[in-house]
Amino acid sequence: MFDNVWLIPLFPLLGFLINGLFGKKIKNEAVIGGIGTLAIFGSFLVSCGILMEMISRTPENRVFEKVLFPWIHCGNFKADMAFLLDPLSVVMIMVVTGVGSLIHLYSIGYMHGEEGFYRFFSYLNLFCMSMLLLVLGSNMLVMFIGWEGVGLCSYLLIGYYFHKKSAGDAAKKAFVMNRVGDFGFLVGLFTLYWWLGDNANVWTINFMEIKKAAHLLPYGGVVTVATLCFFVGATGKSAQIPLFTWLPDAMEGPTPVSALIHAATMVTAGVYMIGRMSFVFIKSPDTMMVIAVVGAATAIFAATIGTAQNDIKRVLAYSTVSQLGFMFLAMGTGAFAAGIFHLMTHAFFKACLFLGSGSVIHAMHYALHHAHSHDDAQDMRNMGGLRKSMPITFITFLVSTIAIAGIPGFSGFFSKDEILWQAFSNPYHGNLNIVLWGIGAIAACFTAFYMFRLVFMTFYGDCRINAKAKGHLHESPLVITIPLMVLGFLAAVGGYIGLPKLIGELFGGIPNYFELWLEPVFEQAQEYGHHYAASGAPHNAALEWGLMGGSVVIALVGITIAFTMYIKNRDLPGKFTSTFPALHRAVYNKWYIDELYDFLFVNPCKSLGNFLWKGFDVLVVDGIVNGVAAVVKGGSGAFRYTATGYVHNYAFVMAAGTVAILGYYIFR
Amino acid sequence: MPEILFFSLVAGVAIISSILVVAMRNPINCALSLIMSFFCMATLYVMLDAPFMAATQVIVYAGAIMVLIVFVIMLLNMRTETSKNYVHGVLVGCIVAVLTLFVISGFLTKSPLTGATGSMTPELITKVGHTELIGRAMFSQFLLPFEITSILLLVAIVGSVILAKRKL
Amino acid sequence: MLSLHHYLILSGILFSIGALGVLIRRNAIVIFMCIELMLNAVNLTFIAFSRYLGNIDGQIFVFFVMTVAAAEAAVGLALMIAFYKNRGSIDVEDINLMKL
Amino acid sequence: MDYILSLITFIPLAGVLLLLVMPRNNALLRGVALAVSLITFIASISLICEFKSIADYQFVENIPWIAAGSFRMNYHVGIDGISLWLVILTTFIMPIAILSTWTAVEEKVKEYMICLLLLQVGMLGAFISLDLFLFYIFWELMLIPMYFIIGIWGGKNRIYAAVKFFIYTMVGSLLMLVAIMYLYFKAGAGDFDISRFYGLGLDPGTQTWLFLAFALAFAIKVPMFPFHTWLPDAHTEAPTAGSVILAAVLLKMGTYGFVRFAMPLFPDATARFTPLIATLSVIGIVYASLVAMMQEDVKKLVAYSSVAHLGFVMIGLFALNQQGIAGGMLQMINHGISTGALFLIVGFIYERRHTRLISDFGGLSKQMPIFATIFMIVTFSSVGLPGTNGFVGEFLVLLGGFESKLRLWTILASSGVILSAVYMLWMFQRVMFGELSNPKNQVLKDLNGREIAIMTPLIIMIFVMGIYPKPFIDKMTPSIEKLIVQSKQKQVASVVLPPMNMAIQEMPAGHPALPTGHPVEAK
């Protein structure tokens, strides 16, 4: 089965080609959607087969590399088109193909009747292929194909409604910001490759070979430079500070896109990349700290913005940024398995939330359309009380919200709690740990608050929708609700494969399967970590129980505040806003980060470009050129008068010349 | 002596008529003066024992070419030129012309004036006849150039027809 | 006794007069006639030398010169007619552009 | 097959002669020109098949041509891995260029086609010449048809652009001619065979001046930063085919000149000027990208992007290692394909709307979906998206640069990766996205069969080179190795073994005594 790994990206590629080339002629939405969905579902089946086989193998035999064909071979540089299978990439392909299949299915319903239906599915398939290349790539360059490929697809899909200017802007912004990250990725790649080659004579970009040679790398120093560069790449792709502003704008794309790309898969690529190269990252304590701090900062920062947004998708977008911050916090604290675990659970509940919001928007849109109203279908202030008309959507949404808020028993609790515990108890950051934990905990509180605010505003209370539209509200069709139900189910129970040890012990020593599964991947990293950190976290069961309880309480506090503000006492938000107008304005306007970037980068670049063009290129460079030409022309103008064009002038000169020459020879 | 006297007379007429060619305002007068000059040339050719050349001179130059020129002058309907359109750069022109003459005379005095001699004596000319001599030379030794000349004339005919016809 | 020198000097004078005409006249046809004059002066030289050297080649050359002059007259006059049709003048001062 | 190179080079010339005698039937003339270029292309395919991956020159022909005593010029041609792909690129681009102005050029079609084919002779000849003098002849030969193409069939400001292009290039090439002469007399009597000049061992001072003369000629052609202003003018004014050829092949003359002549001939000077050239290249990349960003004319934008791309090529070449040079060479071909395609695209919309201002467009995606798809693929190829050709070249260039001493420059140059995305996507967005508000744009027709046929081979090449560049790299690898050795040998000698340097410097003195020391290669 391992040998057939190439089938996984191949199916979506075929789907992309068929839909892209012939989709316009097929026209039948069922066929197009069917092809797209089957393509990714085929990949899912192959992935399942691979997962089965991997489970049946012993942990030592779980790494497998499949070389398809040599790609770039040049001198000592070798990059093959090759795929790597190990427990980590299998987790990722399962998530990508699994969630991807559901979202494809959902899209058939959601995108029904849209212009360019085939275009959407071909892009979606292309995205899946790129994402699978990213996670399967056995060297950095194949990963980079996927890395940029998903950026491209994200560009295409955000700009799907290209006739809207905002969509085009958002798409461009996303791509350019990703490009900034890619720049970091490339420089990091170069640094690592060059250093290993120059100093250790290991010329490679293959992950497994680097892993073997990782003991040659120093602690800190050049590794810090390289990993920081990689981390810049990760911030770009995973929307962390400072490159996070594209993600909320990316909500211009259709909702399934937001669910697939901007929640479940693409944005987690940065986390995956750090996990993939954990053995390099861990060698630089400074980078680890930077990652942890950036992660924590992003988590709290995005969470604050999320509390004040009214667009249902924007709230979810900021929530995604915030949750990604949690993942980076995990990575930065050396809890790689926990980060990946949260990645997975997040993929379930956030995909479910996005799809749920999509279902709501779909319904709202339909209703508003039939009521001939121009109200914004995505504005939560126009919703309310939807739980009666959309029960399935409501239940799955609620389950996912509970999961993300961190209520015990649901998947989010296990993963988030693990991260917070690791942030508190990891051996790497010393006194910083308590700060990291504190920030994480507050961010968790905010998460619970804004998510329940979302639920309360959307599904509870009075229906604020246009009265005419009210009657048109109805539950979405089955093709939309089935993925919701599956994802909702996974959001609820998906956490049980990574039961914290503490809880597992209660139930007769159930191990943390997920951690166990990934252990061989991160073993080496942990080993390196112990070189400079105290070996093993201080294991204090009481403390861990305490913190666990603490995080539950924090989540409940957030929910309670939301309940108070949006159910019980509806005047509170208004009061709050009028009490702190400046704060509200700042939060509502996303802390003016976009404006800051415009001021710092975009506008200076534009005016510099304009100056260089009109001021320098035309005036100075071309001025010199034309100046030289003018001088020559002026000089030759003096001689020009000898050439009058009159025959007799020439005849005079000729005759005089002949006479002079002959005279000279005769009379000399 | 009478030869010199006759030469002087003919040369004088030639020079005067040439000056008239340059000086007359009406192109027709110029042309007529030129014909006069050509006839003087023909006379000189006879004096130089070249009667065939003299005949050719009269027929081709004074006859054909000048008729052509006069015809063109008539065709273009040219009148006497006003003083403004008459001449320009007289002084410079005269200086150049005088210098030319000066150079030629210098050449005459300095040069030995010799060249490849041949066997064509006046006696031979009277005996055989000038025309025959020319004919023999032309159609034996200079046959190829002669034929090429005919091509030149053909080209000239074609050229002039095209040039004159294009805008008609 | 009449010598070669007489003819050559006469020829030189005629040539100079012709050259003067070419240089100072404006009317293209007159200039053309002056050129014919110069050619004739040269012809005279050729025939004079031919006579005094006893070599007939000079006279043959005159023959060719006449042919060239005839061709020149034909083409040159055709050109002048064409030009006159375009410009309404054959003043050389109007002939100062390479194109019409 | 011994004369295959000459055959390829002079088929277009035969086409020129054929066109000369043909009646002025535009359709027929176009057809014949296209057929000639296609035959040339097909003939050139055999080069790839027969080419062996070795460092030596192949398909060599060496025929004595001009001999004046000891002064000899040979018709000496041959290709190695470096010139092979450029020859193929030339023959590949030519039919496309001819097709591109199939309908746009209506006047003087005969002369136009003759110019195009003559241009091809010049370009091919310059790439295959192994004799400096022959190279110079072809180098100048290229200039004239291009001058006419811009000057006669160009846009509004064509005379200015054509003259600027001509004089600019001429200034550089005259300096090069002087340098060639100097080099020749330095080497002593004999022929102009470049291999004779490679091992000359000039002293560093002489090398400096000669290198500067050569480098100026090539830098103008590339064009490198302060000498680039002729390019936007020439590109904007030239007809589509002119722009395509200019971008795809003519600019490569400059970079090819560096690889073939300036670098191996003057190793010491190369080492000395590497920082300067790298600096100019980096400035060129960033500067041209920023300027391109603000352009209002699509064609000018693409022209400035050319400057930026060629900056990458220069960095790669002067990294002087396998990756850098291979990347540079690939990037040369890539640029030929992608930027050529971009100019074609600009040509398509110009033919329809007779404007190139970005502000006149917007929302074309809706009206022209096929065009939009092709435009997007080409845009992303130009941006260097992995999977397209642009990436492989750009990546290898940066990798090579990073491995060499030019690390800092490379990092700065990498920022061009971001900027290229900014200006290309911004342009793409403004032209293709947004509302289709202009009524003139609402009646635009999508690409027709001919236009799709033009773009298809380019699109295919974009992906082939992006996904499977191995054959391209493999064929050039041995030649690049040789080049690196040649360009570095003296640096090593002068650094490691100073006494050796003396010995080499004495060599030229003994050289003239052995005028026959370079036997004509028997073939």
- Together in a domain, B74 and B1: yes
- In A167-226, the residues whose Cβ lies within 8 Å of chain D are 167-169, 171-172, 175-176, 179-180, 182-183, 186-187, 190-191, 193-194, 197-198
User: Which residues of chain C make contact with A648, given a CB cutoff of 8 A?
Assistant: 23, 26, 92-93
Mean pLDDT of chain D: 85
- Into how many domains does chain B fold? 2
User: What is the pLDDT at residue D303?
Assistant: 92
- Together in a domain, B67 and B140: no
Confidence bin at D509 (pLDDT 50/70/90): very low
Domain ranges of chain D: 1-265, 273-477
Residue D494, pLDDT > 50, answer no
Show which subunits contact D, needing at least 3 CB pairs below 8 angstroms: A
Q: How far is C98 from chain A (nearest CA, A)?
A: 8
Q: What tens digit of pLDDT does each residue of C6-48 get?
A: 899 999 999 999 999 988 888 888 999 999 999 999 999 999 9
Among candidates D418, D467, D473 on the partner chain, residue whose Cβ is nearest the Cβ of A74: D473
A176/D421 touch (CB, cutoff 8 Å), yes or no:
yes
Q: How far apart are CA A254 and CA A110, in angstroms?
A: 9
- For residue D471, CA distances in Å to D52, D81, D392 come to 11, 11, 13
Among candidates C19, C22, C96 on the partner chain, residue whose Cβ is nearest the Cβ of A644: C96
Q: How far is A603 from chain D (nearest CA, A)?
A: 12
Decide: A414 and A270 in contact? Cβ < 8 Å. no
Among residues B26, B49, B80, which one ends one of the domains?
B80
User: Which residues of chain A make contact with D366, given a CB cutoff of 8 A?
Assistant: 162-163
User: Which residues of chain A make contact with D287, given a CB cutoff of 8 A?
Assistant: 612
Which pTM value belongs to this model?
A: 0.80
Phi-psi region of D201 (alpha: psi -120 to 50; beta: other; left: phi over 0): left
Residue with tokens 């490339």: A186
Contact flag for C and D (3+ C-beta pairs < 8 Å): no
Q: What tens digit of pLDDT does each residue of D43-56 get?
A: 989 888 888 888 88
- What is the domain range of residue B151? 122-168
Burial zone of A581 (CB within 10 Å; 0-12 exposed, 13-18 middle, 19+ buried) = exposed
User: What is the pLDDT at residue B81?
Assistant: 72
Phi, psi angles (nearest 5°) of residue D69: 65, -125
Residue with tokens 């000039």: D202
Q: Say whether D158 sits in a helix, a strand or coil.
A: helix
**pLDDT below 50 — which residues of chain A?**
none
User: Which residues of chain C make contact with A652, given a CB cutoff of 8 A?
Assistant: 23
**Mean pLDDT lowest among A640-649, D248-257, D377-386:** A640-649
User: Which residues of chain C make contact with A644, given a CB cutoff of 8 A?
Assistant: 96
Q: Does A663 touch chain B (CB under 8 A)?
A: yes
- Together in a domain, B67 and B9: yes
Longest dimension (CA), chain A: 131
B61: Cβ contacts below 8 Å, ≥ 6 apart:
B38, B41, C36, C40, C66, C69
Q: How far is A650 from chain C (nearest CA, A)?
A: 10
User: Which residues of chain A make contact with B110, given a CB cutoff of 8 A?
Assistant: 666
Residue B98, pLDDT > 60, answer yes
Q: For residue B49, give the CATH number of its domain.
A: 1.20.120.1200
Q: Is residue B103 part of a domain?
A: no
Please tell me which residue of chain C has the smallest CA distance to B11.
C10
C-alpha torsion A576→A579→A583→A585, nearest 10: 80
Q: How far is C4 from chain B (nearest CA, A)?
A: 9
Q: Is residue B104 part of a domain?
A: no
For residue A66, what are the β-bridge partners?
A: A83
Chain B residues with CB under 8 Å of a chain A CB are 88-89, 92-93, 96, 99-100, 102-103, 106-107, 110
Q: How far apart are CA A314 and CA A453, in angstroms?
A: 13
User: What is the pLDDT at residue A590?
Assistant: 75
Show which subunits contact A, needing at least 3 CB pairs below 8 angstroms: B, C, D
Among candidates A659, A662, A667 on the partner chain, residue whose Cβ is nearest the Cβ of B96: A659
User: Which residues of chain B make contact with C32, given a CB cutoff of 8 A?
Assistant: 69
Q: What tens digit of pLDDT does each residue of D7-44 get?
A: 888 899 999 999 888 888 888 889 999 999 999 999 98
Q: What tens digit of pLDDT does each residue of D96-124 get?
A: 998 888 888 888 888 899 999 999 999 99
User: What is the pLDDT at residue B62?
Assistant: 86
User: What is the pLDDT at residue D312?
Assistant: 92
Q: How far is A649 from chain C (nearest CA, A)?
A: 9
Phi-psi region of B121 (alpha: psi -120 to 50; beta: other; left: phi over 0): beta
**DSSP state for residue B113 in the 8-state scheme:** -
Listed in sequence order, the DSSP H helices in A137-260 are 140-158, 165-200, 207-213, 222-238, 246-249, 255-259
Confidence bin at D501 (pLDDT 50/70/90): very low
User: What is the pLDDT at residue D521?
Assistant: 43
Q: How far apart are CA A367 and CA D305, in angstroms?
A: 49
Q: How far is A639 from chain B (nearest CA, A)?
A: 21
A666/B88 touch (CB, cutoff 8 Å), yes or no:
no
Phi-psi region of D320 (alpha: psi -120 to 50; beta: other; left: phi over 0): left
Q: Does domain C4-93 have CATH number 3.20.20.140?
A: no
Task: Look up residue D497 and give its two tokens.
Answer: 């073994």
Q: How far apart are CA A42 and CA A49, in angstroms?
A: 11
Residue B151, pLDDT > 90, answer yes
C44/B60 touch (CB, cutoff 8 Å), yes or no:
no
Contact flag for B and D (3+ C-beta pairs < 8 Å): no
Q: What tens digit of pLDDT does each residue of A506-527 get?
A: 787 788 888 888 888 888 888 8
User: Which residues of chain C make contact with B116, given a CB cutoff of 8 A?
Assistant: 53, 55, 57
Q: How far apart are CA D18 and CA D392, in angstroms?
A: 41
Mutate to test the interface with C, among A640, A647, A650 (most CBs of C within 10 A): A647
User: What is the pLDDT at residue C10?
Assistant: 92
B-C C-beta contacts closer than 8 Å: 229
User: What is the pLDDT at residue D314?
Assistant: 92
User: Which residues of chain A make contact with C17, given a CB cutoff of 8 A?
Assistant: none
User: What is the pLDDT at residue A534?
Assistant: 65
Burial zone of A398 (CB within 10 Å; 0-12 exposed, 13-18 middle, 19+ buried) = middle
